[in-house]
Structure 1
């Protein structure tokens, strides 16, 4: 692919930040990015976004294959997905943990995730310009094969919060909480994997990171090396993009709220006192958490938002640059499951892991 024209992105610095909910599109074993064409994929994913999602997504513009989305902004046909979380009972059976929507966002959304596109932090864009991702762009963070705490600690964009209430936030850990969480577990995914630790302010993170794209590759063999993080660590502002990755793009992040409260009775937990939750990968430590992304905003809608001065709900119509749909409209969007297996009831083994 030809280098993306940097000149095309030379617009005035903006102050835009997107924070919105997407209801659940599907929960099944498909992964068109890491395991394209495999039916089923190795483990169960929870997916949100446009209904163009399938076992294989080869088009350079997925917005042309979708006609609805589970996301608040109706021009966002992107797909966002993570592993699914399960509870393992003392008798060895598994039950998928339900997802609840962010209480601070629009009402009526079923499950899903909170999605962020930010520029510098929640107050400014700094002095650099932001270029939206391009049609065909895709990336991942983390890995389902990560199996050591040292590796998990280094992936600072991947963290958990033991929620005390649905509205509070607190300390983040690289592994699953070891005690029952009063309001569930929040899984946090900041792209790429090497992100700065986050500081919670009420229901928000303070993001002081820069994400840089190489400007020519919409993907890479590992789905990550076409991106670069200039984070210096702690809460310092990140450095400029290097010449190898000169295009500054939005900071993308996911939050998933897993409603573990139905499993907080410790008499159900393992007799050795260990925590009972396990990713669909089979990981009971939390190290293998990961996220996948395929860009699918319609036309230049995301670029218009990044060029504006809107923040969060102010980015929606009638005054903002983006079109908004109701929670009921989001929930109507769905895809038919390609993989027909039980992911809902009490299971003797995790799907795909007999």
Structure 2
């Protein structure tokens, strides 16, 4: 017997131990603090106690951690088709930093100051009380006004000085599956966490979202911050990290903020990537490509969540649906390498999606 995603034995065990149902919710939510491949566990982390987020909030009034999609996407079979060759299938969302705060509307909704410090991009109103409705109504620092989504990550410090990225940061929307034609837009209100603040260096390096690690100058594939970076104006600290792109079609969020999403799997006998049967809906794969203006001696560089390998990030979708669909269809499904306007410099004959003001005509 299951009760909203929790097995009856778990509730009976909690009762036997004198633990409240709310605490069971908290224990269930704790896997948000662990690597994607690790079992759930409750752990504390430098001002960020994970796993206590299952409380009533604007999008989750009963506080059980499950937010149903409406409508749900059913009857989808993961695509195993081989599409026409297309080296690129992506577009960019350029979003500048808006503010920093010890808030996390996914892990700690309605609890300002409960998190470690985060650097927010995109929606300018993002805070502990943010909901799908509030974000949809809020302004944005993204180049496209239709992208009211919230993007955030742990803040970076050098000593006691907070270092914020300058200018629009590159957030790619790509195809994670081989059949790029099967990708569809994010549902409004979808949210998830990528990575974990408590992961080890090895778990960070082996994470399916790991691309090139921390890099600066000629130093690449670092799981922690390099000891030093060239002291030149053109050198910044960089990181690329990819999100899962396969959705279960049922939930906009789950108690661990991850299990409704999955990374791709390899089609047997091939090198092709496809979504697993448990998460059959192919969505855009978000890739953070962040740059911090810091170099020289890096010995005092840290994240608010800890060492460099504690990097993780959050995404809360609040795109205007019509614009997101137009960009996904033209750039990802269309097999193009698009900029923030949906224009492929190498295929100018295909045109752009957005006008000069980055709005859908």
- The verdict on a shared fold, with TM-score over 0.5 as the criterion, is yes
Given the alignment of the two structures, is residue 322 of structure 1 paired with residue 323 of structure 2, yes or no?
no
1:86 matched to 2:157: yes
Report whether the alignment pairs 1:188 with 2:240: yes
- Distance in 2 (alpha carbons) for counterparts of 1:286 and 1:293: 20
Measured on the aligned residues, the alpha-carbon RMSD in Å equals: 3.3
Tell me what 1:286 maps to: 308
How many residues end up aligned between the 2 structures?
A: 269
**Structure with greater contact order relative to length (CA < 8 Å, sep ≥ 6):** 1
Deviation at 1:19?
A: 1.8
> What aligned pairs does 1:1-354 form with structure 2 within 5 A after superposition?
1=68, 2-5=71-74, 16-59=89-132, 61=133, 64-66=136-138, 68-88=139-159, 94-100=160-166, 110=167, 112-120=168-176, 126=179, 128-146=181-199, 148-158=200-210, 160-164=213-217, 171-182=220-231, 183-192=235-244, 211-232=245-266, 237-261=271-295, 264=296, 266=297, 275-281=299-305, 283=306, 285-308=307-330, 309=334, 310-313=336-339, 315=342, 319-323=351-355, 325=357
Aligned partner of residue 48 in structure 1, secondary structure: strand
Deviation at 1:170, TM superposition (A): 6.2
Q: What is the distance in 1 between the residues matched to 2:145 and 2:75?
A: 28
**TM-score, scaled to structure 1:** 0.67
Change (3 A) 1:238 1:218: farther
CA displacement at 1:51 relative to structure 2: 2.9
> 1:288 offset after TM fit, Å?
0.9
SS at match of 2:308: coil
Q: 1:286 to 1:240 in 2, by over 3 A?
A: same
Shift of the 127–80 alpha-carbon distance from structure 1 to 2, 3 Å rule, reads closer
Whether the aligned pair in 1 keeps the contact of 2:99 and 2:120 (CA below 8 Å) is: yes
Instruction: Say which SS state the counterpart of residue 152 (structure 2) adopts.
Output: strand
TM-score (normalised: structure 2): 0.66
Offset from partner CA, 1:298-331 (integer Å, 9 cap, x none) = 02211221111353225169942235548xxxxx
* Distance in structure 1 (CA, Å) of the matches to 2:154 and 2:105: 14
Whole-angstrom distance in 1 between the partners of 2:99 and 2:355? 23
CA distance in 2, matches of 1:163, 1:138: 30
- C-alpha displacement of 1:216: 0.8
Rounded to whole Å, the distance in 2 between the matches of 1:51 and 1:323 is 23
Instruction: Tell me if the contact between 1:152 and 1:175 (Cα under 8 Å) persists in the aligned partners.
Output: no
Kept after mapping to 1: 8 A contact 2:100/2:118: yes
User: 1:323, 1:221 → 2: CA distance?
Assistant: 40
